[in-house]
Amino acid sequence: MAIALVLVLVVVGSVLFHFLSPWWWTPIASNWDYIDNTIIITFWITGVVFSAVVLFMAYCVFRFRHREGNRAAYEPENRRLESWLTVVTAVGVTALLVPGLFVWSRFVNVPSEAADIEVVGQQWQWSFRLPGKDGKLGTSDTRDVTSDNPLGVAPKDPNGQDDVLVEAADLHLPVGKPVKVLLRSIDVLHDFYIPEFRAKMDMIPGSVTYFWFTPTRTGTFQVLCAELCGQGHPLMHGVVVVDTEQDYQAWLGQQQTFAQLSAPQQTGSADRRPGETTASGPDIAAKLETVEAR
Amino acid sequence: MVDVTPADAVPPAEVGEVELYHPHSWWTKYVFSQDAKVIAVQYSATATAIGLVALVLSWLMRLQLGFPGTFDFITPEAYYQFITVHGMIMVIYLLTALFLGGFGNYLIPLMVGARDMVFPYVNMLSYWVYLLAVLVLVSSFFAPGGPTGAGWTLYPPQAIMTGTPGGQDWGIILMLSSLILFIIGFTMGGLNYVVTVLQGRTRGMTLMRLPLTVWGIFTATVMALLAFPALFVACVMMLLDRLLGTSFFMPAIVEMGEQLQHNGGSPILFQHLFWFFGHPEVYIVALPAFGIVSDLISTHARKNIFGYRMMVWAIIAIGALSFVVWAHHMYVSGMNPYFGFFFATTTLIIAVPTAIKVYNWVLTLWRGDIHLTIPMLFALAFIVTFVNGGLTGLFLGNVVVDVPLSDTMFVVAHFHMVMGVAPILVIFGAIYHWYPKVSGRMLDETLGRFHFWVTFLGAYLIFFPMHYLGLMGVPRRYAELTDMTIMTESAHHLNSFISIMAFIVGFAQMVFLFNLIWSIRHGREAGGNPWRATTLEWQTPETPPAHGNFGKELPIVYRWAYDYSVPGAKQDFIPQNVPGTFGPSREPT
Amino acid sequence: MSVILVFLLVIAGFAGWWLSHQRLLAKPWLEQGMAGEDFVDLGRSPLPTAKIGLGVFLAVVGCLFSLFTSAYFMRMGLSDWRPLPLPRLLWLNTGVLVLSSVALQCAVVAARRGQLDMVKLGLATAGLTALAFLVGQLVAWRQLTEDGYLLASNPANSFFYLITAMHGLHIMGGLVGLGRTSASAWNGGRPERLRLGVELCAMYWHFLLFVWLGIFAVLAGWAATIIDICQRLLT
């Protein structure tokens, strides 16, 4: 008997928790409110199903509990009922799937006006690269990573010379302009995730992945790594600042290009073979030590 | 009306007697036994023991998450080792081993009317290789560097690199070796379970007369036999990458400023192989639970399972479909995004047969005669948690909704609800149900009810709110949730609450263990068929069943497994081995 | 993952065929009693249980090699793949393995006729040729390493060593079974048991030969060429 009451309480409690509890998603800051809407649809459909099934069960337990002299009905199956339930379920599932697939096709098709930016993950920090004046990112290769070239930009590629490098610092983005985020890693899997933007994607060493979004409001947002990348994983925070166009240009003016960063050391690095120690090594080793010290 | 078919009218010869193995000493009777029932108990005991390790590990990680910074001995390194070993134990060494090795070994021969498994010697080897796998896993705690901390998914490259605990030490090597051993051991057992269902059935036991428990375990075993090789391949290749410097999964990598020797490998390849095993694995755990819960509900509601044929077809459909949905674990892995369309569709299609199963369980209750025994309570709790966890699966399976939620606490809450809590509730229900057959005595009722309420409500309170942390964006696998701008103060309080509930639920399991041990001697005598059930395991001449299960003559099966409350029959159940025709609407045979 | 999916499709087809003979559409609650001979036929298969068991095991082994092949094709698409020249010796090894299978088939025929001497001869030939195959594979490995095709220097090499090693391990396992059967042949075991043992060995040998031909085709690159041609024909 108690169980029937508890089943009702589970439904009521879950629904109340859903509407009254303070824990909900962060205010959105990108164009992916489509995703939020799909989640809302999913919540409604699944919520109704959950409540219906559990409440029906509670009713059955209450109504058909064992009493002296009771005997169960004999009903091996009911084709009509089963067919109906199958059809209704299929309709419900389709109602979830179709909007989801439409939004997904928006998600994977990047608008042509989106500006490329590159995010490079390494244990355990974020770096960024912007295309510079020519609007093109130079090619890159993990094998080109050296102390002077921690992001592995191909030194010979002319497109890469004017690329703006933001190493282990904050990234700024102009509000309202779509960006295509190209994701790259030079060691293990990472995942570039900003909860307010809703979008995320793994970064895989050896290949370039992508997603796109349009920031819709200015502000400062925390970057989290969402793919386990070793013991520094929870410390791998970064910052993305969404600026007005003016502020963005001011910030961009202060950044250095690949050519500027590598020019003074050019002679020193000419005979350096790939495979030798790079500058970021000690930094990371120090980081690892602090992680271990905790 | 009653048309008794005498047993001697049945053509006698087509079931040959098996050559039964006879133990000669205490060692071969209780330790190196070839009796499936003894092997089942060995499997269950080992799985429970290693499960306790996993329980303690979950406490340790909840200590860290609920009360960050309070416990200095839980370093990030240790935290990752805890979550990895916890996950691995629960999914493979506990759930898979207990459902297939434990329940499979005990129930298959008894339920299909066989004297034993068809290859008893191989069956015994299966257990000893499993034990070895468990010991290798445990030994990694004592190896230099400790066990691996790569997460239970063991994704390369990080799994075999310095930045991960155990990556360049013994941890990952022992983990992979243990998995390889487990797979070898499981294959030996799995062959037995499948072939016994195919060839060991007694006279009259057609496939459509099998209890759904056997259907669930049988289908799950077939799936496991076909899915575990994928994990085997992945483990062997990763072992070579780690030990001999090959580049199956390892691309060019700069580690701690050093260029590694690897070149060109594909981490995504590992993920494909892993999830090609990993997704069927979910159903390898779920299908036996589905089968068992169907029998629990039917027996304790005194009503035949509603829509038996649909239930069988649904089990087969789920088993087949689960091999073409694996990449829904990889929507944001960076694979070709267009795969998302295909895998989202197949994933949501699999929801239909699963939903049918839920409807049929609930419709079995309708107009039943529901005895609220402890197995029934656990079955009801299973439906609640399974429906909850299954529905959140619709979020994660729907590719675009998965994007913000993947790798957050939402995923953790979802899979714990659907393949952690739900199957474990079935395991508890099943133990309360079959313990009288295994030991001859009932488990204590009062302790059982206490165990049920704390476990069900506690587990629900742990995992239901956790979904909302994920919705908020809190990532999983974070050793510390400090400096997170998205997390409000109250979210940290919620985490502490979840941790406290976890300790309470864990404590209730100690009560259960006590009950298990205490009742062996002090429980109420059960008799042969305390639940008045129809299936063959309750019709054995001795309880606990003797070696050979059925005495001199194997039973002959005259009916399906669900003749409860048949109109015209005196009792509200007719065992499968009782001849005769009952019921007004039946065709004469 | 296409190879393994095709393999599973074959398995599913087989399972579907079997299930279609099990009256899954019947309404079991309407069928009480033994119902004539119907249910008797639905019991066990007339094949010996050990053969069914071996059949299931071979399905698992087939699954394992399909997965290796799947991984091979997926890894092959990446840029650093340099195919290695297969040693000519592999042709000879293939011939030896075929001989081994033929010898076992002869032993099966002899066992069915009850000619014990021929059975012994067949078993011995099969065992020796299988050992010769293993030695030949080792020699092929040595030739490759001497020519500088090391395990870790290219994924094509790694796959070659890995897959041939896996196949060799399965042959070794088979040799254990063959040894047990031979022991019973020489010690005068029961004829029907001996016959079953020989048949099981032959089944396993033929399957491993089939697997070997498959992986030989894959490693030599013919499989890729055939798939390529098929794809062109389709498009």
* pLDDT tens digits, A104-149: 999 999 999 999 999 999 988 999 999 988 888 888 888 888 888 8
Quick one: pLDDT at residue A293?
A: 47
Quick one: pLDDT at residue B581?
A: 78
What is the widest separation between alpha-carbon atoms in chain C? 72
Instruction: Report chain C residues touching chain A, CB-CB < 8 A.
Output: 27, 29
Quick one: pLDDT at residue B5?
A: 40
CA distance C29 to chain A (A): 7
Size of interface A-B (CB pairs under 8 A): 350
Chain A from 240 to 269: CB within 8 A of any B CB: none
C6 part of contact set with chain B, CB < 8 Å = no
Quick one: pLDDT at residue A259?
A: 84
Please provide the distance, in angstroms rounded to a whole number, between the alpha carbons at the two ends of chain A: 51
A76 part of contact set with chain C, CB < 8 Å = yes
Quick one: pLDDT at residue C41?
A: 52
For chain B of 589 residues, list the mean pLDDT of each consecutive stretch of 10. Answer: 39 48 77 92 96 96 90 91 95 95 96 92 95 96 93 92 90 95 96 93 89 96 96 96 92 87 90 94 95 96 94 95 93 91 94 95 94 96 96 93 94 95 96 95 95 96 95 92 88 94 95 95 91 94 89 88 89 88 56
B346 part of contact set with chain C, CB < 8 Å = no
Residue A105 burial class via C-beta count within 10 angstroms: exposed 0-12, middle 13-18, buried 19 and up: middle
For residue C11, pLDDT over 80 is answered with yes
B155 contacts A189? CB cut-off 8 A: yes
Asked if residue A197 is part of any domain, the answer here is: yes
For residue A94, pLDDT over 60 is answered with yes
Quick one: pLDDT at residue B11?
A: 41
Whether residues A123 and A263 share a domain: the answer is: yes
Total tally of structural domains belonging to chain A: 2
Whether residues A156 and A53 share a domain: the answer is: no
CA distance B291 to chain A (A): 17
C46 part of contact set with chain B, CB < 8 Å = no
A37 part of contact set with chain B, CB < 8 Å = no
Whether residues A167 and A54 share a domain: the answer is: no
Domain extents in chain C: 84-234
Quick one: pLDDT at residue B483?
A: 84
CB-CB: which of B15, B265, B589 is closest to C35?
B589
Whether residues A37 and A91 share a domain: the answer is: yes
CB-CB: which of B338, B383, B388 is closest to A108?
B338
Asked if residue A282 is part of any domain, the answer here is: no
Whether residues A151 and A224 share a domain: the answer is: yes
In sign, the C-alpha dihedral spanning B424, B184, B79, B56 is: positive
The pLDDT-based confidence of A159 (bands split at 50, 70, 90) is confident
What is the DSSP secondary structure assignment for residue A207, as one 8-state letter? S
B366 contacts A72? CB cut-off 8 A: no
Residue of B333, B400, B453, B531 to mutate, testing the A interface (most A Cβ within 10 Å of its Cβ):
B400
For residue C42, pLDDT over 70 is answered with no
B14 part of contact set with chain C, CB < 8 Å = yes
Q: Which domains are assigned to chain B?
A: 32-249+265-539 (1.20.210.10)
A66 part of contact set with chain B, CB < 8 Å = yes
Asked if residue A184 is part of any domain, the answer here is: yes
Whether residues A103 and A147 share a domain: the answer is: no
Using a CB-CB distance cutoff of 8 angstroms, which residues of chain C are in contact with residue A77? 27
Main-chain phi, psi angles of A58, to 5 degrees: -60, -40
> Chain A residue with minimal CA distance to B298?
A72
CA distance C175 to chain B (A): 18
Asked if residue A275 is part of any domain, the answer here is: no
Chain C from 192 to 221: CB within 8 A of any B CB: none
Quick one: pLDDT at residue A248?
A: 93
Quick one: pLDDT at residue C223?
A: 78
Considering only residues A253 and A292, tell me which one the structure prediction assigns the higher pLDDT. Answer: A253
> The domain spanning residue A140 has which CATH number?
2.60.40.420
Whether residues A100 and A198 share a domain: the answer is: no
Whether residues A125 and A260 share a domain: the answer is: yes
Using a CB-CB distance cutoff of 8 angstroms, which residues of chain A are in contact with residue C27? 76-77
Range C84-234 has CATH code 1.10.3210.10: no
B363 contacts A81? CB cut-off 8 A: yes
Asked if residue A246 is part of any domain, the answer here is: yes
Quick one: pLDDT at residue C33?
A: 74
| Separation CA B31–CA B127 (nearest Å) | 11
| Separation CA B137–CA B173 (nearest Å) | 10
| Separation CA A58–CA A52 (nearest Å) | 10
Domain that holds residue A213: 115-268
B560 contacts C40? CB cut-off 8 A: no
Task: Give the side-chain half-sphere CA count within 13 A for A20.
Answer: 6
Q: Contact partners of A by the rule of 3+ C-beta pairs under 8 A?
A: B, C
Asked if residue A71 is part of any domain, the answer here is: no
Asked if residue A38 is part of any domain, the answer here is: yes
Whether residues A176 and A236 share a domain: the answer is: yes
Find where tokens 């990080």 sit.
B158
User: What percent helix, strand, coil does chain C show, rounded to 5?
Assistant: 80, 0, 20
ipTM, interface predicted TM-score of the complex = 0.94
> Chain C residue with minimal CA distance to A76?
C29
Whether residues A165 and A260 share a domain: the answer is: yes
